[in-house]
Amino acid sequence: MALQKTLSLLLLLLLTLLGLGFVQPSYGQFMYQPLQQQHVDSTQRGGTSLYRNTMMQRQGMTRLRCKQFNTFIHENIGAINNICRTPNIQCRNGKENCHEGVVRVTDCRLTASFPVNCRYEGRGSSRHVVIACEGNPQVPVHFDG
């Protein structure tokens, strides 16, 4: 009887620990969601005029007004998370939780703004980007430049 009680407690402890392990990634994913929505497209290489105009519209950056500038990162989540492992640098807002890395991007700059017809120019390239990271483990939460 004592052995069965001990096994039951161990099973409960194991399930609790597994449950805690599943909660943390979803919290990190929640923190990452705004950055992903606005700046990450790992499925495309970008760079073309059609890509820039379509993505800005699809991601909701042309609804109420045309967003002046946006960058799409063309890397998978693992590569973006790795940026959070580089040394801290100062963000534009003065905080020290930014990190820098080189990734493939498409920069989109507004060239024409009609009531519901925003047009963008830019190009695809590999360049340094700065990303703010938070949490433990750290996850990317804000594109800083």
Nearest CA to 82 among 19, 133, 20?
A: 133
Distances (CA, A) of 102 to 86, 115, 128: 11, 35, 4
Which of the residues 74, 99, 128, 142 is marked catalytic?
A: 142
Torsions phi, psi for 115 (to 5 deg): -45, -45
Cβ neighbours of residue 62 closer than 8 Å, sequence gap 6 or more: 56, 116, 118
Gyration radius from the chain CA atoms: 21
Q: Which tokens is 110 given?
A: 């507004």
**Is 99 one of the annotated active-site residues of the chain?**
no
Query: Which residues belong to the active site?
Result: 39, 142
